Chain A
Amino acid sequence: QKEVEQDPGPLSVPEGAIVSLNCTYSNSAFQYFMWYRQYSRKGPELLMYTYSSGNKEDGRFTAQVDKSSKYISLFIRDSQPSDSATYLCAMMSRPRGSTLGRLYFGRGTQLTVWP
């Protein structure tokens, strides 16, 4: 079992729809939870970052973390064609005594928002 599971999709929605993207994980040591966005033939870029459980909102994007269920979500409101991309969840634990956290990525969900 991979440490981070993510449904690869693809997901196709009309403009204006609410999009829900999800990941599950098995490692209870994960403390940091990120969502990266990757446009076609580009490198990933950080979209949202959350520490521990709870919600975080940034414009049309909301990230949720439920550590008790080992489940994280990204919601996109009023989706736009420009949101069409692959969304990768990522998680990090910081081993005791280590200065470097290790990022674990999901496989990514391909999203298309059509006009």
Chain B
Amino acid sequence: NAGVTQTPKFRVLKTGQSMTLLCAQDMNHEYMYWYRQDPGMGLRLIHYSVGEGTTAKGEVPDGYNVSRLKKQNFLLGLESAAPSQTSVYFCASSSRQADTEAFFGQGTRLTVV
């Protein structure tokens, strides 16, 4: 039982490059989320989705785009990476019936130089 899987685990980008982070969950959860975690800032919500084909902005959405074409996948895109986007990114999912429990992936460590 894999739970929530994030790809890749590590990445170094140059300023201005683009990339996509992939999140896959096998728990049939309706809700999916992307967070970033920075020292001293805690977890901040970037975007979230309440179902296939729907996405919404969270607390810090600027510079990111997302898509949820399939229920089990949630993609986070950086169109033009900036050093301020250096962070650890976590994907999470939860069921509609129990959204107080979010299941997190192992994280993606992104460095933008």
Residues of A within 8 A of B (CB): 4, 6, 8, 32, 34, 41-46, 49, 88, 92, 99-103, 105-108
Contacts and interface: CB of A to CB of B under 8 A. Distances in A.
Interface in B85-113: 90, 92, 96, 99-107
A105 B96 contact: no
A41 B107 contact: yes
Interface of B: 4, 31, 33, 40-45, 48, 50, 90, 92, 96, 99-107
Contact of B100 (A4, A32, A45, A108): A32
Contacts of B50: 99-100
The 8 closest A-B pairs by CB, nearest first: A43-B104, A107-B42, A105-B43, A105-B42, A46-B101, A32-B100, A44-B104, A101-B99
A103 B107 contact: no
A49 B42 contact: no
B13 to A, nearest CB: 20
Given A92-B100, A100-B50, A100-B99, A43 B41 contact: no
B102 A46 contact: yes
B100 A88 contact: no
A102 B43 CA distance: 13
Given A41-B107, A100-B31, A100-B50, A106 B96 contact: no
B9 to A, nearest CB: 10
